[in-house]
Structure 1
């Protein structure tokens, strides 16, 4: 069965940068997946005639904002098309539009029909942060976050952030297609951050993976009271992992995000490609 990956593209107010298309095609080639690029455009409704009398040029400003969003969408879709052609990745492009508060919800709903979701994360683009949160917690599908300053390397070495929890187990299951292709798997367990369900859950997972024929080894790491997200990412990078797999802690209710510490840290400071599942 051929995998399918969705690439939702923010077009308003700040469009994603062109490198998102390049990174997504690199990962799609590694997944041997068909890439579906979706421009999620803004559709700002017109204000009422009564209100527009008090707001100078409001109808024209709204028309220009909607047109700018569509132009941004077409620009990034052209970039993705060129990158996919160069990489030999099969590509399907599409466009959709909705009101600003529902952009992330629309992307999350579309994502439910795909095996993976690829999201380009940019530190200075809050729209990409919001999109990532909406899709992670609303789609039920695994999301691979792609940082702006790191070109994805081969996912030959995959690190797993493991604490024995339900969401961590879900992430490992969702990452199975990637784990089966990896030549090395490192299970990372932070042992000084919270109570764990057993003495060495990382070692237990590594044994289970090896029994399935996967090349896994476990490492206990210490945060030293620092940021758990930084600890996990730094250990993954130091060990030359190309991808970190982790569970997403938290939930969302009408844009009120309550995130676990590691999840919040990842979404604030992304240092390598991360597959995150909720």
Structure 2
């Protein structure tokens, strides 16, 4: 990174890392990536391990079902506590200040707790998942749409923070504008930034073109270029994935498109498709 990298990244003073603990042995990429980001920024890190509380309605199974639910709740909670102890140890070894908390609640309460913490941290780091029923997906969706702060959605396997080459998915929208503003510390620290405009994905006739965003970023010291490309085979998400690979991007900055469904804000198809299968971490804002 350029010489201003530490100064820019250190604008993030408080980082929240969310882990969804299901009692498996799989390591969390969000935890490793979040610790790496906190070390680069010299930030305080808060690690929350979320475990879904299992409850059973009264049924003919009676005490047997309750005993099974209680046993599962204990198993998952113990696994969450063990993960947090490891996180605290890794943070201490890296010279970071770290707070840890285990949450075991029904889903609605769990989501509210994550959203509340996201609102009082500069950025939240969460792990992406391709599984549509994973609670991790619900947490990402709620923190992005309700948290009011940016989210770094990290695919499995990414364990080290790196943001030397960044693609901005630009459509001139308010959400894309907000994502760029939140990501400015990272953009200033990057070696190369590409503003990517995908033509044909939507009507951009009245949108501010990427060529007009570029001078603003350049005034902040961002090394920026603009690339206008056509959507390929009608699939904007796949087009963005392909271009991120060609650019050798470390990260994609984008606004999270949402729409209303039954009085709730849910992620749109383009954003959801990228979260389910992204080649690099996504910096998201709504």
TM tier, shorter chain? 0.7 to 0.9
Which deviates more from structure 2 when the two are superposed, residues 108-117 or residues 120-129?
120-129
Aligned alpha-carbon RMSD (Å): 2.6
Query: Counterpart of 2:72?
Result: 65
Q: Once the 2 structures are TM-superposed, how far is the Cα of residue 39 of structure 1 from its aligned partner?
A: 1.8
Which deviates more from structure 2 when the two are superposed, residues 207-216 or residues 6-15?
6-15
Query: Counterpart of 2:162?
Result: 154
1:263 to 260, 263, 271: 271
Return closer, same or farther for 1:219/1:146 CA change in 2, 3 Å cut-off: same
Query: Counterpart of 2:236?
Result: 228
8 A Cα contact 1:152 1:242, kept in partner: no
TM-score, structure 2 normalization: 0.85
- Counterpart-to-counterpart distance in 2, 1:230 and 1:102: 35
Query: Counterpart of 2:33?
Result: 23
- Counterpart-to-counterpart distance in 2, 1:154 and 1:45: 41
2:128 to 121, 125, 129: 121
Unaligned runs of 5+ in 1: none
Query: Counterpart of 2:202?
Result: 194
- Counterpart-to-counterpart distance in 2, 1:228 and 1:15: 35
- Counterpart-to-counterpart distance in 2, 1:89 and 1:254: 42
Tell whether 2:172 aligns with 1:164: yes
Query: Counterpart of 2:245?
Result: 237
Describe the superposition over 1:174-200 as per-residue Cα deviations: whole angstroms up to 9, x where unpaired.
112212222221111101211114587
Which deviates more from structure 2 when the two are superposed, residues 6-15 or residues 69-78?
6-15
Return closer, same or farther for 1:256/1:13 CA change in 2, 3 Å cut-off: farther
Query: Counterpart of 2:87?
Result: 80
Describe the superposition over 1:48-72 as per-residue Cα deviations: whole angstroms up to 9, x where unpaired.
xxx3554350221221122122112
Unaligned runs of 5+ in 2: 1-10
Describe the superposition over 1:145-165 as per-residue Cα deviations: whole angstroms up to 9, x where unpaired.
110033445212221110100
- Counterpart-to-counterpart distance in 2, 1:16 and 1:131: 18
Q: How is 1:6-17 mapped onto 2 (pairs within 5 angstroms)?
A: 6-12=16-22, 17=27
Q: Once the 2 structures are TM-superposed, how far is the Cα of residue 218 of structure 1 from its aligned partner?
A: 0.7
Return closer, same or farther for 1:233/1:251 CA change in 2, 3 Å cut-off: same
Aligned residues: 275
- Counterpart-to-counterpart distance in 2, 1:134 and 1:15: 26
- Counterpart-to-counterpart distance in 1, 2:126 and 2:225: 29
Describe the superposition over 1:79-124 as per-residue Cα deviations: whole angstroms up to 9, x where unpaired.
3223323444332112233213332222112210000000012334
Tell whether 2:212 aligns with 1:204: yes
Query: Counterpart of 2:224?
Result: 216
Query: Counterpart of 2:282?
Result: 274
TM-score, structure 1 normalization: 0.87
Which deviates more from structure 2 when the two are superposed, residues 63-72 or residues 268-277?
63-72
Describe the superposition over 1:213-253 as per-residue Cα deviations: whole angstroms up to 9, x where unpaired.
22111111222234212221321232122111000011455
- Counterpart-to-counterpart distance in 2, 1:253 and 1:109: 22
8 A Cα contact 1:21 1:79, kept in partner: no
Tell whether 2:132 aligns with 1:145: no
- Counterpart-to-counterpart distance in 2, 1:119 and 1:127: 11
Return closer, same or farther for 1:252/1:148 CA change in 2, 3 Å cut-off: farther
8 A Cα contact 1:4 1:114, kept in partner: yes
Query: Counterpart of 1:112?
Result: 119
